[in-house]
Amino acid sequence: MSPETGAPPREIPKERSMLLQKEMIAGHYQDLASAPETGRKVVYTFVPGNLTELMRSFDVLPVLPEINALQSGMRKLSGDYISEAEKQGHSEDVCTYVKCDIGMLKQGNVGPTGQPLPEPDLLLLSYTGCFTFMKWFELLRQEYDCPVAMLHVPYQADGTIHDHHRAYVVEQLESEIIPKLEQVTGQQFDEDRLRAELELSAVAEDDLVWVLESAKNVPSPIDAYFGGVYYIGPMFTAFRGTQEGVDYYRTLRAEIEERLAAGRGPITPDGELEEERYRLVLEGPPNWTSFRDFWRMFSEEGAVVVASSYTKVGGLYDRGFRHDPSRPLETLADYCMGCYTNLGLPSRVDLIADYIREYRADGFMINSVKSCNSFSVGQLLMLRQLEERTGVPGGFIESDLVDPRYFSAANIKNRIESYLQMLEQKRGTAA
Amino acid sequence: MSTELAQLLERVRALFEDVDFTAVREWKAEGADRKAVGHMPIYVPRELIHASGMLPVGVLGGGDRLEIIRGDAYFQSYICHIPRSTIEMALTGRLDALDGMLFPSICDVIRNLSGMWRLLFPDRYVRYVDVPQNFSPDVGGAFWRQELEQLLDDFAGLSGRAADQEALRRSIAVYNENRREIGALYEARSHEPWVYPASELYLVVRAGNVLPPEEHTELVRSYRQLAAAEDRHEQDLSRVVVVGTFCEQPPLGLLLTLERAGCSIVDDDLLLGQRWLTDDVSEVGDPIEALATAYLECSCQTASVYQPEGRRGAWLVESVRRNQAEGVIFCAPSFCDPALLEQPMLVDALAAAGIPHTQFKYAENTGQFAAIREQAGTFSDSIRLWSDA
Ligand code: SF4
Ligand code: SF4
Is B312 a residue whose pLDDT tops 70? yes
Distance from CA of B143 to the nearest CA of A (A): 6
Binary contact (B134, A91; C-beta < 8 A): no
Assigned fold of B19-164: Rossmann fold (3.40.50)
Report the nearest-CA residue for atom 8 of ligand 1: A372
Binary contact (B341, A98; C-beta < 8 A): yes
Compute the C-alpha angle B198/B86/A396, nearest 5°. 130
pLDDT for position B11: 98
- Starting from the edge strand earliest in sequence, which strands make up the sheet with A42-44, in order? A61-63, A42-44, A122-127, A148-152
Q: Which amino acid is at A358?
A: E
The pLDDT tens digits for B325-361 are: 999 999 999 999 999 999 999 999 999 999 999 999 9
**A353 near B CB under 8 A:** no
Does the beta carbon of B253 sit less than 6 angstroms from any atom of ligand 2? no
Distance CA(B98)–CA(A375), nearest Å, equals 28
pLDDT for position B387: 66
Per DSSP, B364 falls in state: T
Q: What is the mean pLDDT of residues B164-173?
A: 98
Does the beta carbon of B338 sit less than 6 angstroms from any atom of ligand 2? yes
Is A164 a residue whose pLDDT tops 70? yes
Distance CA(B128)–CA(B116), nearest Å, equals 11
Q: What is the mean pLDDT of chain B?
A: 96
* DSSP secondary structure string for all residues of B176-205: HHHHHHHHHHHHHHHH-TTTS-HHHHHHHH
Q: Are A372 and A409 in contact (CB under 8 A)?
A: no
CB-nearest partner of A377 from B83, B146, B345: B83
The pLDDT tens digits for A8-21 are: 333 434 579 999 99
Residues of B in contact with A368 (CB under 8 A): 76
Q: Are A120 and A127 in contact (CB under 8 A)?
A: no
Q: Are A430 and A314 in contact (CB under 8 A)?
A: no
Binary contact (B113, A154; C-beta < 8 A): no
Give the mutation target among B270, B302, B336 for probing the ligand 2 site: most ligand atoms within 8 A of CB: B336
Q: What is the mean pLDDT of residues A165-192?
A: 98
Binary contact (A165, B143; C-beta < 8 A): yes
Q: Are B265 and B258 in contact (CB under 8 A)?
A: yes
When divided into structural domains, chain A yields a total of: 1
Binary contact (B134, A142; C-beta < 8 A): no
Nearest to A278 by CA among A259, A306, A307, A256: A306
Is B51 a residue whose pLDDT tops 90? yes
Question: B383 alpha carbon to ligand 2 midpoint, in Å?
Answer: 30
Residues of B in contact with A93 (CB under 8 A): 78, 334-337, 340, 361
Give the torsion through C-alpha atoms of A297, A303, A309, A311, to 10 deg: 80
Q: What is the mean pLDDT of residues B151-157?
A: 98
Distance CA(B281)–CA(B293), nearest Å, equals 8
Q: Are B341 and B107 in contact (CB under 8 A)?
A: no
CB-nearest partner of B119 from A127, A172, A381: A381
Binary contact (B307, A138; C-beta < 8 A): yes
Query: Residue B57: which H helix or E strand, with range?
Result: strand B54-58
Give the mutation target among B60, B109, B111, B366 for probing the ligand 2 site: most ligand atoms within 8 A of CB: B109
Other CB atoms within 10 A of residue A199 CB: 16
Does the beta carbon of B82 sit less than 6 angstroms from any atom of ligand 2? yes
Report the nearest-CA residue for atom 3 of ligand 1: A130
* Residue A329 Cα distances to A189, A191, A336, A426, B298, angstroms: 12, 9, 11, 50, 31
Does the beta carbon of B60 sit less than 6 angstroms from any atom of ligand 2? no
Give me Rg for the CA atoms of chain B.
20
Per DSSP, B41 falls in state: S
Is residue A320 included in any domain, yes or no? yes
ipTM: 0.96
CB-nearest partner of B345 from A127, A139, A379: A139
Report the nearest-CA residue for atom 7 of ligand 1: A372
Question: B338 alpha carbon to ligand 2 midpoint, in Å?
Answer: 7
Other CB atoms within 10 A of residue A385 CB: 22
Binary contact (B337, A345; C-beta < 8 A): no
Pairing state between β A271-272 and A267-268:
antiparallel
3 state DSSP class of A221 = coil
**A152 near B CB under 8 A:** yes
pLDDT for position A4: 30
Binary contact (B139, A98; C-beta < 8 A): no
Distance from CA of B188 to the nearest CA of A (A): 34
The pLDDT tens digits for A182-199 are: 999 999 999 999 999 999
For residue B302, give the ligand nearest its CA.
2
Does the beta carbon of B109 sit less than 6 angstroms from any atom of ligand 2? yes
Query: For B315-345, b where at least 16 C-beta lie within 10 A, e where not — what string?
Result: bbbebbeebebbbbbbbbbbbbbbbbbbbbb
Binary contact (A373, B337; C-beta < 8 A): yes
Q: Which amino acid is at A138?
A: E
Nearest to B55 by CA among B63, B67, B46, B64: B46
Distance CA(A423)–CA(A394), nearest Å, equals 9
Q: Using CA coordinates, name the residue in chain A closest to B307.
A: A138
Q: What is the mean pLDDT of residues A321-339?
A: 98
Distance from CA of A98 to the nearest CA of B (A): 9
Binary contact (B115, A385; C-beta < 8 A): no
Does the beta carbon of B111 sit less than 6 angstroms from any atom of ligand 2? no
pLDDT for position A201: 98
Q: What is the mean pLDDT of residues A372-394?
A: 97
The pLDDT tens digits for B211-231 are: 999 999 999 999 999 999 999
3 state DSSP class of B368 = coil
Distance CA(A209)–CA(A217), nearest Å, equals 14
The pLDDT tens digits for A67-94 are: 999 999 999 999 999 999 999 999 999 9
Q: What is the mean pLDDT of residues A343-370?
A: 98
User: Among residues 315-344 of chain A, which lie with CB inside 8 Å of chain B?
Assistant: 344
Is A315 a residue whose pLDDT tops 50? yes
pLDDT for position A187: 97
Does the beta carbon of A313 sit less than 6 angstroms from any atom of ligand 1? no
pLDDT for position A2: 29
Nearest to B348 by CA among B322, B304, B310: B310
Q: What is the mean pLDDT of residues A235-260?
A: 96
As beta bridge partners, residue B100 has B37, B125
* Residue A139 Cα distances to A98, B341, B366, angstroms: 9, 8, 30
**A409 near B CB under 8 A:** no
Q: For residue A43, what are the domain limits?
A: 16-430
Binary contact (A93, B340; C-beta < 8 A): yes
Is B190 a residue whose pLDDT tops 50? yes
As beta bridge partners, residue A365 has A282, A395
Other CB atoms within 10 A of residue A405 CB: 13
Distance CA(A14)–CA(A147), nearest Å, equals 45
**A130 near B CB under 8 A:** yes
Domain boundaries, chain B: 19-164
- A-B CB pairs within 8 A amount to 159
Does the beta carbon of B363 sit less than 6 angstroms from any atom of ligand 2? no
pLDDT for position B388: 59
Pairing state between β B100-104 and B263-268:
unpaired
Distance CA(B221)–CA(B8), nearest Å, equals 11
Distance from CA of A291 to the nearest CA of B (A): 22
pLDDT bucket at A313, cuts 50 / 70 / 90: very high
